[in-house]
């Protein structure tokens, strides 16, 4: 059975918890935490080391450039966390599934706890993967740390939880929710530096406004993201064929 809006807790395993200090106290994400819609716990593997310098990395077996995060502190950090029902352990990695809106919806609807492991340096000892359920990527590029995609994931998932965004209907109009990009938005003044708000938006005719917005979504998607537009056309064709059966 699919559970709707089940997620309540993030556990982020990070060597740099200070990275999250400002983002987790700002904007809608900060408000969601204050309202206890979600809990975000930061867990530092350095706290589970016992040497004088709290060393968490070492040279790579077989040689090579860069240092590798040791397995012991990561395992210890993970095992220190409570285990809620429907927990998922994620590794932030460029080798993982690229973040997307459907992925965010899946996470928020089906999991009560997300444990996010942030990589660093040359990487993490491969044995850590034995306790990872899924790898997640921000895109086909490499960053200096896993904290950046981790924060993106927390933000993207949290905003889908009821009570985070003021008007729930605004989520339905987001880019990617319908398979199309969002339409243009305008506000006052109606004229600014000879740039005019489209007349249809000032007409008060809601049917024409809805049609204009839909046409803008199609145009934007076709122009900016032809790959997304092609996928949308294919989905429409599949839906049409299933209706005819």
Condensed to tens digits (0 to 9), the pLDDT of residues 24-67 reads 999 999 999 999 999 999 999 999 999 989 999 999 999 988 89
- Catalytic (active site) residue 122: yes
Q: What count of Cα atoms within 13 Å lies in the side-chain half-sphere of residue 107?
A: 28
- Catalytic (active site) residue 72: no
Categorize the per-residue pLDDT at 105 as very low, low, confident or very high, splitting at 50, 70 and 90: very high
CB 153 within 8 A of CB 205: no
CATH of region 9-158, choose from 3.40.190.10, 3.40.1280.10, 3.40.718.10, 3.40.50.720 = 3.40.1280.10
Query: Which residue has 């005719």 as its token pair?
Result: 205
Nearest residue to 73 (alpha-carbon basis) of 88, 41, 51: 51
Domain ranges of the chain: 9-158, 173-244
Residues 6+ apart with CB under 8 A from 47: 77
Condensed to tens digits (0 to 9), the pLDDT of residues 157-186 reads 999 998 898 655 566 556 567 789 989 999
The hierarchical CATH code for the domain 173-244 is: 1.10.1270.20
Query: No. of H helices and E strands in the chain?
Result: 7, 10
List 72, 106, 112, 122, catalytic entry: 122
Residues 6+ apart with CB under 8 A from 125: 68, 69, 70, 71, 74
- Catalytic (active site) residue 94: yes
Report the predicted TM-score, pTM, of the whole model to 2 decimal places.
0.86
DSSP string, 53-90: T---EEEPTT--SSEEE-HHHHHHHHHTS---TTEEEE
């Amino acid at each position: 059975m699919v559970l709707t809006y089940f997620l309540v807790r993030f556990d982020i395993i990070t060597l740099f918890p200070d990275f999250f200090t400002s983002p987790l106290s700002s904007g809608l994400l900060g408000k969601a935490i204050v309202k206890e819609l979600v809990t975000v716990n930061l867990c530092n593997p350095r706290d589970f080391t016992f040497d004088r310098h709290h060393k968490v990395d070492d040279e790579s077996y077989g040689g090579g450039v860069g240092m590798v995060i040791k397995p012991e502190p990561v395992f210890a950090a993970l095992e220190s966390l409570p285990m809620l029902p429907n927990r998922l352990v994620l590794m932030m990695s460029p080798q993982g599934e690229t973040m997307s809106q459907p992925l965010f919806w899946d996470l928020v609807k089906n999991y009560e706890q997300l444990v996010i492991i942030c990589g660093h340096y040359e990487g993490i000892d491969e044995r850590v993967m034995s306790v990872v359920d899924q790898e997640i990527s921000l895109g086909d590029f490499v960053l200096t740390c896993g904290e950046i995609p981790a924060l993106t994931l927390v933000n993207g998932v949290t905003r889908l939880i009821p009570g985070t965004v003021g008007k729930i209907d605004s989520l339905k109009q987001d880019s990617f929710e319908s398979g199309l990009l969002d339409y243009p938005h305008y506000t006052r003044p109606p004229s600014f530096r000879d740039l005019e708000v489209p007349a249809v938006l000032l007409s008060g005719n809601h049917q024409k406004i809805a049609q204009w917005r839909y046409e803008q979504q199609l145009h934007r998607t076709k122009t900016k993201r032809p790959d997304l537009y092609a996928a949308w056309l294919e989905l429409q064709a599949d839906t049409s064929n299933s209706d005819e059966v």
